[in-house]
Homo-oligomer: A and B are copies of this chain.
Amino acid sequence: MIYDILFKHLEQKIQLSEVEKEIVKSYFIPKTLKKRKLLLQEGYVCKYLTFVASGLLKTYHIDEKGKEHISQFTPEGWWTSDMHSFFHSVPSQYTIDALEDSELLMITAEDFENMTLQVPVMDRYFRLLFQNSLVVKERRLVTAHTLTAEEKYRQLVENNPGLVNRVPQNLLASYLGLTAATVSRLKKNV
C-alpha cells in the first residue's frame, strides 16, 4: 500500500506509534501523476510537499532565453516541492513534472504545520531529511565550481548510475549545467 512506502521511509529515521501513524496518514492526500503532467507550475504557489512513492519527477526552471535548468530529480522514496514557495506562500520559481507515471502523497503547508505540532517527532524526521539534503546540495555546489565538464559527468555516472540509465542524456546535461552537445562529446572519454 502506498502509505506503507511512506512509513517505511519515515521509520528509517524515526519511530512512530500506531496512533501517530494514523495521524500522519490522515494528513496525506494520495495522487497519481501521469508522465509529462505537471505537479507544480512556475509562478503559482506550491501548495504541497510531496512524497514520491513510485515514479520519477523533475524540478526545473526556465531562464529568460527559454533554456531549461533542472535542479532536481525526485525518484521514489524522496520528497519534492519548491520549499520557499511552499513554506512562505510565494510564487514558485520552479516547475515540477513527471518523467514517469508516478504515485504521490501530498500534504499542504497548513497540515504540515498541524502534523508537526501533533506529532513532534516529525520535526525530527524532517530535520534529518533536510540535514542530509543540505549536505548533498552543498556538494553539488562545490562540484559545480571545481570540476570540469568531464569530471562532472563522470562523477554523476559513479554516484548515480541508476539515474543515468533512467533519464535521457539531454536532461542529465541540464542537471549538470552543461549542454546536450557537450555531454554527448565527452561521453567518449568516460
Contacts and interface: CB of A to CB of B under 8 A. Distances in A.
Given A137-B138, A145-B144, A120 B124 contact: yes
A87 B140 CA distance: 19
Given A142-B71, A146-B61, A126 B131 contact: yes
Interface string A79-122: 00001100100000100000000000000000000001000110
A137 B158 CA distance: 23
Interface in A138-179: 138, 140-142, 144-146, 177
A140 B71 CA distance: 11
A135 interface: yes
Q: Count this chain's copies in the assembly.
A: 2
A152 B29 CA distance: 39
B134 A69 contact: no
Nearest to A177: B145
Contact of A140 (B69, B120, B130, B141): B141
A123 interface: yes
Interface residues of A, dominant DSSP: helix
A35 interface: no
A142 B126 CA distance: 23
Contact of A137 (B69, B123, B127, B134): B134
A61 B133 CA distance: 19
A160 to B, nearest CB: 16
A135 B61 contact: no
Interface in A41-90: 61, 63, 67, 69, 71, 83-84, 87
6 contacts: A61-B142, A71-B138, A71-B141, A120-B123, A123-B124, A130-B134
